[in-house]
Amino acid sequence: DAGVIQSPRHEVTEMGQEVTLRCKPISGHDYLFWYRQTMMRGLELLIYFNNNVPIDDSGMPEDRFSAKMPNASFSTLKIQPSEPRDSAVYFCAGSTGGGELFFGEGSRLTVL
Protein backbone atom coordinates (compact mmCIF):
# COMPACT_ATOMS: atom_id res chain seq x y z
CA ASP A 1 0.00 0.00 0.00
CA ALA A 2 1.75 3.15 -1.21
CA GLY A 3 2.00 6.07 1.14
CA VAL A 4 1.86 9.76 0.30
CA ILE A 5 4.06 10.37 -2.72
CA GLN A 6 5.78 13.70 -3.22
CA SER A 7 7.90 14.90 -6.09
CA PRO A 8 10.47 16.11 -6.60
CA ARG A 9 12.36 14.98 -3.50
CA HIS A 10 14.97 17.66 -4.06
CA GLU A 11 14.81 20.82 -6.11
CA VAL A 12 17.49 23.42 -6.61
CA THR A 13 16.49 26.47 -8.57
CA GLU A 14 17.46 30.06 -9.05
CA MET A 15 15.64 33.04 -7.67
CA GLY A 16 12.79 34.11 -9.90
CA GLN A 17 12.07 30.68 -11.31
CA GLU A 18 8.74 28.92 -10.96
CA VAL A 19 8.66 25.89 -8.70
CA THR A 20 5.94 23.24 -8.72
CA LEU A 21 5.75 20.62 -6.00
CA ARG A 22 3.49 17.62 -6.44
CA CYS A 23 1.64 15.31 -4.11
CA LYS A 24 -0.30 12.11 -4.53
CA PRO A 25 -2.21 11.33 -1.33
CA ILE A 26 -3.25 7.96 -0.02
CA SER A 27 -6.43 6.75 -1.65
CA GLY A 28 -9.45 7.44 0.55
CA HIS A 29 -7.90 10.30 2.48
CA ASP A 30 -10.32 13.19 2.17
CA TYR A 31 -8.08 15.80 3.80
CA LEU A 32 -4.83 17.02 2.25
CA PHE A 33 -2.38 19.38 3.91
CA TRP A 34 0.67 21.29 2.77
CA TYR A 35 3.22 22.12 5.48
CA ARG A 36 6.53 23.96 5.28
CA GLN A 37 9.42 23.20 7.64
CA THR A 38 12.32 25.55 8.33
CA MET A 39 14.77 25.81 11.18
CA MET A 40 13.53 29.27 12.09
CA ARG A 41 9.78 28.74 11.92
CA GLY A 42 9.36 25.01 12.46
CA LEU A 43 6.39 23.26 10.85
CA GLU A 44 3.90 25.71 9.41
CA LEU A 45 0.57 24.79 7.86
CA LEU A 46 0.25 26.52 4.50
CA ILE A 47 -3.11 25.28 3.25
CA TYR A 48 -5.44 22.34 3.54
CA PHE A 49 -8.16 20.80 1.41
CA ASN A 50 -11.20 18.72 2.21
CA ASN A 51 -12.67 16.73 -0.65
CA ASN A 52 -10.50 18.74 -3.08
CA VAL A 53 -11.85 22.09 -1.82
CA PRO A 54 -9.46 24.53 -0.12
CA ILE A 55 -10.66 25.06 3.45
CA ASP A 56 -8.00 27.22 5.05
CA ASP A 57 -5.24 29.00 3.15
CA SER A 58 -4.43 31.51 5.86
CA GLY A 59 -0.93 30.07 6.18
CA MET A 60 0.03 30.77 2.58
CA PRO A 61 2.76 33.37 2.97
CA GLU A 62 1.94 35.59 0.01
CA ASP A 63 0.51 35.71 -3.46
CA ARG A 64 3.56 34.02 -4.90
CA PHE A 65 2.26 30.79 -3.41
CA SER A 66 -0.69 28.92 -4.84
CA ALA A 67 -2.07 25.42 -4.35
CA LYS A 68 -4.54 23.35 -6.29
CA MET A 69 -6.21 20.01 -5.92
CA PRO A 70 -7.89 19.18 -9.23
CA ASN A 71 -8.90 15.71 -8.09
CA ALA A 72 -8.72 13.39 -5.11
CA SER A 73 -5.42 11.88 -6.16
CA PHE A 74 -3.31 14.91 -6.98
CA SER A 75 -2.31 18.28 -5.56
CA THR A 76 0.27 20.89 -6.46
CA LEU A 77 1.95 23.70 -4.60
CA LYS A 78 3.38 26.37 -6.86
CA ILE A 79 5.76 29.19 -6.06
CA GLN A 80 6.14 31.89 -8.68
CA PRO A 81 8.53 33.66 -8.60
CA SER A 82 10.66 31.81 -6.07
CA GLU A 83 12.92 33.60 -3.60
CA PRO A 84 15.81 32.37 -1.42
CA ARG A 85 13.64 32.69 1.70
CA ASP A 86 11.34 30.02 0.26
CA SER A 87 14.08 27.44 0.81
CA ALA A 88 12.56 24.79 3.07
CA VAL A 89 11.23 21.28 3.20
CA TYR A 90 7.65 21.13 1.98
CA PHE A 91 5.52 18.28 3.27
CA CYS A 92 2.26 16.99 1.93
CA ALA A 93 0.09 15.03 4.35
CA GLY A 94 -3.31 13.40 4.30
CA SER A 95 -5.86 12.10 6.73
CA THR A 96 -9.39 10.83 7.05
CA GLY A 97 -11.61 12.88 9.32
CA GLY A 98 -10.02 13.31 12.73
CA GLY A 99 -7.33 10.71 12.31
CA GLU A 100 -3.60 11.17 12.33
CA LEU A 101 -1.78 12.79 9.45
CA PHE A 102 0.17 10.58 7.08
CA PHE A 103 3.11 12.54 5.73
CA GLY A 104 5.02 12.22 2.51
CA GLU A 105 8.80 12.20 2.60
CA GLY A 106 8.93 15.88 1.78
CA SER A 107 10.34 18.01 -1.02
CA ARG A 108 13.53 19.85 -0.13
CA LEU A 109 13.63 23.15 -2.00
CA THR A 110 16.73 25.28 -2.32
CA VAL A 111 16.40 28.64 -4.02
CA LEU A 112 19.74 30.23 -4.91
Partner 1 sequence: AQKITQTQPGMFVQEKEAVTLDCTYDTSDPSYGLFWYKQPSSGEMIFLIYQGSYDQQNATEGRYSLNFQKARKSANLVISASQLGDSAMYFCAMRENMEYGNKLVFGAGTILRVKS
Interface with partner 1 (CB under 8 A): 31, 33, 42-43, 45, 48, 50, 55-56, 89, 91, 93, 95, 97-98, 100-103, 105-106, 108
Nearer to partner 1, 9 or 15 (CB): 9
Please, what is the minimum distance in Å from the beta carbon of residue 55 to partner 1? Answer: 7
C-alpha distances in angstroms, 63 versus 58, 80, 99, 103?
Answer: 11, 9, 31, 25
The DSSP string of 63-108 is: TTEEEEEEETTEEEEEESS--GGG-EEEEEEEESTTS--EE---EE
Nearer to partner 1, 62 or 100 (CB): 100
Please, what is the minimum distance in Å from the beta carbon of residue 110 to partner 1? Answer: 14
